[in-house]
Copies of this chain bind each other. A is one copy, B any other.
Amino acid sequence: MDLQYPLELIGTFVFAISGALAVRDREHDIFGAGFTGFITAIGGGTLRDVLLGAYPLVWIGDVYFLYAIFAGVFTAFVFPKIMLKLRRTMFLFDTLGIGFFTVLGVEKSLSLGVRPEIAAIMGMFSAVMGGVIRDTLTNEIPILFRKEIYASACLVGAILYLVLNYFGLHRDVNLLISISVIISIRLVAVKYKLSLPRLD
């Protein structure tokens, strides 16, 4: 799949934009916004690779990821109004992003030889922990705890990928199905404001 590498860079770029814009309403200066975009873009994959001991980290070993982040932050700075008008588009990109990064994180973890249970968790972490770290640093309740079904959609997609993979489904088809399921769950959850039940 020759598309994987450019798609990863695009995903990183989009995550950096949404991270930088996430602080727009608050008191951060442009440095803080850039820093937040950076953390959002690299946080999930970095946590995954630190937990797995997979060095060098992706963005340290391949400088193009850094350039994708710079480009994203720069775009958020120069075209903030356009970006915010595109908020709905950005939401779609973010949703595509979490679907894509989840499955990619699962695959990377499997390739490092961990068990599927671990790979599922790592896939979810890849997609959502950048936002969680961003929210923690900026003193927000992390997205994980407040949004409609979000991380759990990633977990479901990760498990689905692993199951289909176990049954020998062709990788490209599997990618397509698993990512689509994550995206669909997320879109339906947001549209109908679906949440998981609480303990009580």
CB under 8 Å from chain B, chain A span 141-175: 141-142, 144-146, 149, 151-152, 155
Residue of B nearest to A67 (CB): B117
Provide the bound-state CA to CA distance between A20 and B199, in Å: 9
Contacts of A144 in B (CB 8 A): 31-32, 35
A29 at the interface (CB under 8 A from B): yes
Tally of A interface residues using CB under 8 Å = 52
Q: Does A60 contact B (CB under 8 A)?
A: yes
Q: Is A6 an interface residue (CB 8 A)?
A: no
Interface presence of A108 (CB below 8 A): no
Secondary structure call for the A interface: helix
In the bound assembly, the distance between CA atoms of A148 and B28 in angstroms comes to 11
Smallest CB gap from A50: residue in B: B50
In contact, A198 and B141 (Cβ under 8 angstroms): no
Q: Which residues of A contact B (CB under 8 A)?
A: 20-21, 23-24, 27-33, 35, 46, 50-53, 55-57, 60, 63, 66, 76-77, 80, 114-115, 117-118, 121, 132, 136-142, 144-146, 149, 151-152, 155, 195-200
